[in-house]
Chains A and B, each alone.
Chain A
């Protein structure tokens, strides 16, 4: 259910971008999805197929997921570490003063268009 809602936002933004570039059909959409973005890639792909095929501009369009690893920075010791195995507490100095550097992205990286030459 969550992923379906996200798919509707992707479709809206892709259609908007395609129209701005005078594109009639989009053959691929590349998404940057962070490891800790709460998006389950398989669900996203399933929802995408169902919803995209209802749109003329996106029929058959492939959704590609580019996974962005989650990295947390520690303000205690200044080091970066992998978020998924360690969470909020820095594995080097045990400080809880940490923040996510990247890994919660849900962004459209690019769209692909097949041009007949």
Chain B
């Protein structure tokens, strides 16, 4: 008797992001019911995410209840820093070597936060401009920070990141005189990727412009809870 191999092909035709997109939508629904606004904050390493967060939280913490989730590959320096500087609850998520968070990991993180006691949860995603853009975390909005030393042409180099973000914060405006960074050009590049994105220039170190971002966020949270 002959034994021969015949190859059988089973058609799948499924995006590997499909399950995550479903999980993310379910998470958003759940957060809506609980009246919790989740902001996904992304950026390259060293753009000033943690300092921006501290400044923003200190402007909002008497108005709304805030919690922070810090996602990093390892270490808990950011979570400790946030908690020390603002006094609000902060938890650290370790992605175990993964370069991004997905909806399932975000949900696991949220399980460690008393959601009934938070109006706003800020997720500080892994410092990376590629992978986090591909995975919907279930957040209501995506925001990213671009710092002046990184260059005004970053939206051209990382198109997906800039197309998924509703708000782009341009940080470190105090060093603008020392760099060839053209704010108007940067805005034009951002709008090429996402015509509806708002661009907010700030300097997290001096606090300049942070009010604009904080006010926007406060309005967003109020709207989400009301609608």
Contact = CB atoms under 8 A, between A and B. Distances in A.
Interface of A: 1-2, 4-6, 9-10, 12-14, 17, 21, 23, 27-28, 38, 87-88, 96, 104-117
7 contacts: A10-B16, A96-B192, A107-B12, A110-B9, A111-B9, A114-B7, A116-B4
A108 B7 contact: no
B15 to A, nearest CB: 4
Given A106-B16, A116-B3, A38 B160 contact: yes
B5 interface: yes
Interface string B134-176: 1000000000000000000000100110000000000000000
Given A1-B99, A5-B131, A116-B3, A109 B11 contact: yes
Sorted nearest first, the 8 A-B pairs with minimum C-beta distance are: A9-B16, A108-B12, A114-B5, A107-B15, A113-B8, A1-B99, A110-B11, A5-B98
Nearest to A106: B16
Contacts of B134: 38
A23 to B, nearest CB: 7
A24 B184 CA distance: 58
Nearest to B16: A9
Nearest to B97: A1
B12 A17 contact: yes
Contact of B13 (A2, A6, A23, A108): A108
A110 B160 contact: no
B19 interface: yes
B7 A13 contact: no
Interface of B: 3-17, 19-20, 97-100, 130-131, 134, 156, 159-160, 192-193
Q: Which of B9, B16, B20, B100 has most A Cβ within 10 Å?
A: B16
B8 A115 contact: yes
A109 B131 CA distance: 22
Contacts of A110: 9-13
B6 A13 contact: no
A112 B160 contact: no
Contacts of A17: 10, 12, 14
A106 B15 contact: yes
Contacts of B192: 88, 96
A58 to B, nearest CB: 14
Given A2-B130, A17-B12, A107-B13, A27 B7 contact: yes
A13 B159 CA distance: 27
A6 B134 CA distance: 10
Contacts of B100: 5
Contacts of B11: 109-110
B10 A113 contact: yes
Contacts of B19: 9, 12-13
Nearest to A96: B192
A114 to B, nearest CB: 4
Q: Which of A2, A96, A105 has most B Cβ within 10 Å?
A: A2
A108 B14 contact: yes
Contacts of B15: 105-107
Contact of A117 (B4, B16, B160): B4
